[in-house]
């Protein structure tokens, strides 16, 4: 209690020094919550780092991928523990853990865990000089996921209910990281997706020779027939000009969407692709803040908004991306983060698909997500419903 009072005084001094209106409002709200007893003081945060081996995969933008880094986070407040995490595709994970341990933990200790939006703003502001996205967004995400989980535990509600949403069944698609696979391997993977009942499948494109991409897409379309949706993902491989040419060649295979055709910085290039191609353009996994999503939506640069609550900067940031998409009447989907995204997409007006990604965390989760007839629903347990199986993770701790 004495620690909480000292923290309030420190905050008051900080607030007076900054003298910004938003800071004053935030402090007043925190003070009121503390007086009313709703305050949950953040007492302790612990993190761990793991390197999980993967069968070697690859795509046109990120090259070969043979491991996934997992940074787990436990946030203790008010007698409860919220669980969060961040992941990478094998690079940068130690820096994310260091940002949490050295910059965010000292910032957050003693603060009110129920002020999720306020803490997101605070983390963003504190890391602004080295952040505005990138690794800082992943670090903030690990904390933000734990805060939402804690909120669900306190309210005894699953995440989707905290958003004011109802549980819904969301179609899932099988997604390979399959650019290096031979055509036979690609078709075998696709058959596996069909056996699992997925109503859609996604294939990587970006082989040097456009004819090879075309042959692979043509063969997959022939295998799946016309009733299964087919998406392609270029992982930012091309210039906007080349993406336009490639897109025109691939459109004939009746694609459901064309994902990340060029680099995320080229927003006007994306807008041109949206205008000039018939196939919807999907993007979002490489956008690291609500500001970036706002620019895409306002400039007509995206047709399907894909959220990833880790790369986007947390659940708070992905919810904002979904609200922007809803306001613009856009379709929504997800990248990886199957378990969190099943909750988030329930809060969206037009969630067309959830991605069932090749990097499944199932082997490391106490309760892996169930896919029934190619569809998923969010977990019903309070919070995120995600708990890592520490015995399964233990051999990979770094
Ligand atoms: Mg992708």
Cα 308 to ligand 1 centroid, rounded to whole Å: 10
**344 and 219 part of one domain:** yes
395 lies in some domain: no
pLDDT band at 11 (very low <50, low <70, confident <90, very high): low
| Domain stop point among 108, 123, 155 | 155
Cα 182 to ligand 1 centroid, rounded to whole Å: 20
Q: Which residues pair with 158 in a beta bridge?
A: 383
β-strand 80-88 against 229-233: which pairing, if any? unpaired
* Chain segment 337-364, per-residue pLDDT in tens: 999 999 999 999 999 999 998 888 999 9
255 lies in some domain: yes
397 lies in some domain: no
In a 3-state reduction of DSSP, which class is residue 156?
Answer: coil
pLDDT number for residue 39: 87
Active site residue 335: yes
180 lies in some domain: yes
- Residue 203 reports pLDDT greater than 60: yes
Cα 235 to ligand 1 centroid, rounded to whole Å: 6
**CATH code, domain with 120:** 3.30.390.10
**168 and 76 part of one domain:** no
**234 and 367 part of one domain:** yes
Among the listed residues 83, 97, 204, 357, the single catalytic one is 204
**113 and 192 part of one domain:** no
CA 228 remoteness from chain centre: 25
pLDDT number for residue 59: 82
Domain that holds residue 21: 1-39
**108 and 184 part of one domain:** no
398 lies in some domain: no
pLDDT number for residue 1: 45
The structural domain count of the chain equals 3
* Chain segment 113-149, per-residue pLDDT in tens: 999 999 999 999 999 999 999 999 999 999 999 999 9
- Residue 258 reports pLDDT greater than 70: yes
Residues 6+ away with beta carbon under 8 Å from 212: none
pLDDT number for residue 6: 65
- Residue 243 reports pLDDT greater than 70: yes
If you average pLDDT over every residue of the chain, what do you get?
Answer: 93
pLDDT number for residue 76: 98
* Percent of the chain residues topping a pLDDT of 90: 85
**26 and 87 part of one domain:** no
| Runs of H (alpha helix) within the chain | 2-18, 21-36, 93-98, 105-108, 116-126, 134-155, 159-162, 183-195, 210-224, 240-250, 267-276, 290-298, 315-327, 338-344, 390-393
**224 and 345 part of one domain:** yes
| Runs of H (alpha helix) within 337-389 | 338-344
Residue that wins the pLDDT comparison between 308 and 9? 308
149 lies in some domain: yes
- Mean pLDDT of the region 263-291: 98
Of the candidate ranges 26-30, 259-263, 266-270, the one whose mean pLDDT is the lowest = 26-30
93 lies in some domain: yes
**CATH code, domain with 261:** 3.20.20.120
**197 and 279 part of one domain:** yes
10 lies in some domain: yes
| Domain stop point among 139, 155, 171 | 155
Among the listed residues 76, 335, 356, 357, the single catalytic one is 335
Active site residue 74: no
β-strand 351-357 against 170-175: which pairing, if any? parallel
**252 and 269 part of one domain:** yes
pLDDT number for residue 16: 59
Cα 1 to ligand 1 centroid, rounded to whole Å: 47
pLDDT number for residue 354: 98
- Residue 19 reports pLDDT greater than 60: no
**187 and 65 part of one domain:** no
- Residue 185 reports pLDDT greater than 60: yes
**337 and 197 part of one domain:** yes
**20 and 134 part of one domain:** no
- Mean pLDDT of the region 355-380: 95
Cα 73 to ligand 1 centroid, rounded to whole Å: 25
Cα 300 to ligand 1 centroid, rounded to whole Å: 19
Residues by chain with Cβ below 5 Å of ion ligand 1? 233
| Domain stop point among 93, 127, 155 | 155
Q: Which residues pair with 4 in a beta bridge?
A: none
């Amino acid at each position: 209690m004495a620690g909480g009072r000292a923290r309030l005084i420190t905050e008051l001094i900080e607030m007076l020094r900054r003298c910004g209106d938003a800071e004053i409002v935030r402090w007043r709200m925190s003070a009121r919550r503390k007086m009313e007893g709703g305050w949950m003081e953040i007492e302790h945060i612990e993190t761990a780092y793991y390197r999980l081996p993967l069968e070697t995969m690859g795509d046109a933008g990120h090259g070969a991928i043979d491991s996934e880094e997992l940074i787990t986070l436990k946030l203790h407040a008010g007698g409860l523990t919220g669980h969060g995490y961040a992941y990478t595709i094998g690079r940068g994970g130690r820096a994310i853990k260091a940002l949490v341990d050295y910059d965010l933990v000292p910032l957050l200790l003693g603060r009110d865990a129920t002020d999720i939006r306020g803490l997101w703003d605070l983390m963003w502001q504190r890391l602004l000089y080295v952040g505005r996205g990138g690794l800082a967004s992943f670090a903030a995400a690990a904390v933000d996921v734990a805060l939402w989980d804690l909120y669900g535990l306190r309210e005894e509600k699953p995440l989707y209910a905290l958003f004011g949403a109802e549980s819904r069944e969301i179609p899932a698609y099988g997604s390979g990281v399959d650019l290096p696979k031979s055509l036979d391997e690609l078709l075998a993977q696709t058959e596996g997706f069909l056996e699992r009942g997925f109503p859609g499948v996604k294939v990587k494109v970006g082989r040097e020779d456009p004819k090879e991409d075309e042959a692979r897409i043509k063969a997959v379309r022939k295998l799946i027939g016309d009733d299964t949706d087919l998406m392609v993902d270029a992982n930012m491989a091309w210039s906007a000009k080349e993406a336009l040419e490639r897109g025109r060649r691939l459109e004939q295979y009746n694609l459901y969407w064309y994902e990340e055709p060029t680099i995320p910085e080229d927003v006007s290039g994306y807008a041109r692709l949206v205008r000039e191609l018939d196939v919807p353009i999907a993007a979002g996994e490489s956008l690291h803040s609500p500001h970036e999503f706002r620019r895409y939506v306002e400039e007509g640069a995206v047709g399907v908004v894909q959220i990833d609550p880790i790369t986007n900067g947390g659940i708070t940031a992905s919810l904002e991306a979904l609200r922007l998409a809803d306001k613009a009447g856009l379709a929504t989907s997800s990248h990886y983060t199957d378990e969190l995204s099943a909750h988030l997409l329930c809060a969206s007006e037009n969630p067309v698909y959830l991605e069932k990604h090749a990097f499944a965390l199932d082997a490391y989760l106490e309760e892996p997500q169930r896919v029934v007839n190619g569809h998923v629903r969010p977990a019903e347990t309070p919070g995120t419903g995600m708990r890592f199986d520490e015995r399964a993770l233990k051999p990979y701790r770094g």
